[in-house]
Amino acid sequence: MIKTKRLIALLFAAFAFSSAISIQAQTLDIDRQLKYCSTQVHRALDELRHKDGTYDYTMQPRNILNGDRQKGWNCRPAKAEEWCDGFWPGILWMTYQTTGDEAVRRAAEGYTESLRGIAYQPCYDHDIGFLMFCSYGKGYEVNHSREYKDVILASADSLATLFNPIVGTILSWPREVKPHNWPHNTIMDNMMNLDMMFWAAKNGGNPLLYDLAVTHAKTTMLNHFRPDGSCYHVAVYDTINGNLIKGVTHQGYADNSMWARGQSWAIYGYTMVYRYTHNKVFLDFAQKVTDVYLKRLKQTSDDLIPLWDMDDPRGTKAPKDASAACVVADALLELQEYVGDEKGAEYKAIALQTLAQLSTPKYQSGKRNVSFLMHSTGHHPAGSEIDASIIYADYYYLEALMRAKRLNVR
């Protein structure tokens, strides 16, 4: 009864968030949704399995595009250039954690192993964090393998080679320096990859990795955001004096627009930085970037799933981005623990209602394909992965559900 009353109070806090957003009284049955994810994973594995019972571990699931007739994943080669290749192994490791299914574990080991070489070659770009920590990191949570730990530490050292001490951030896209005349570019996505550096410094890696990650977070905080807390996708720096040249977009609608997934990276990123540093500056900033997102969400969306860019002039006719909603819900479930009080309760309620909305037939793929969710948007300006099922949406959805489970939400 006490848990029920607490949940009702949280739901009322969510309703108070905005009458402009239709937050219906939807119940989030976490165990049911975790079972759904497990079912979809097994369906996907069946689709990926060859007739002889083997898998091609060198091909990692990426997307199922709107209009695709097949139900299985479109796959990409396991290599550093494919930034999403760590998410499927991570999903398998999380699924094993919730089910104990040894077949899933064996598949997780195979898909993870296919990425090993990336840790021991020159760093292609910042996404080595997504690639290696979402795969080997999730695997290490299960097996505590020294071998996995060594791969993570090597990956963190590799990422550190992109740090520019004059600028104070990690170079995101070396390949874009000449084509765009971006001497040193840092994208908001890079905040997510600091997780691996912090973890490595804490778990036997070079202690300098901690300092580099903190410096990156501070420099990004100073230069990558507008006064209201909304972020640019890309910050371009001068490599001679380290000064900011300009803030621009690459995947958003415009340089001054709020690209939803970019803002979600900021929310998750600064929440994670506070986890490792316990520096209140980062906690306050995590709330600032969250609050402007929620304010704009209230103004632009008919539910808690944002438009791909909150400044798309088409308004609610523009595509949604379920992946951004997953990242935000995941982050809010952690952030609310640090914030506490009424504001923390509001963050928690919004996170749970976001997951509840994502868990309806409107957003779940169900039997239409083997993914968890539909209606994500990848790179809209390039016409890529618009209104699609995308692997990282599923990853953060499952991670958020598992986080909610650990919070003992009923």
| Catalytic residue, candidates 46, 56, 150, 189 | 189
Question: CB within 8 A of 113, min separation 6: which ones?
Answer: 57
Does residue 341 have an active-site annotation? Answer: no
First-to-last alpha carbon distance for the chain, in angstroms, is 11
| Catalytic residue, candidates 85, 127, 195, 312 | 127
Please, are residues 306 and 300 in contact by the beta-carbon 8 Å criterion? yes
Q: Where are the alpha helices (DSSP H) in 240-321?
A: 260-277, 280-300
Interstrand relation of 169-170 and 163-164 (parallel, antiparallel or unpaired) = antiparallel
Interstrand relation of 244-248 and 234-237 (parallel, antiparallel or unpaired) = antiparallel
Does residue 127 have an active-site annotation? Answer: yes
Side chain identity, residue 191: M
Of 313, 295, 312, the C-alpha closest to 228 is 295
| Active-site residue list | 127, 189
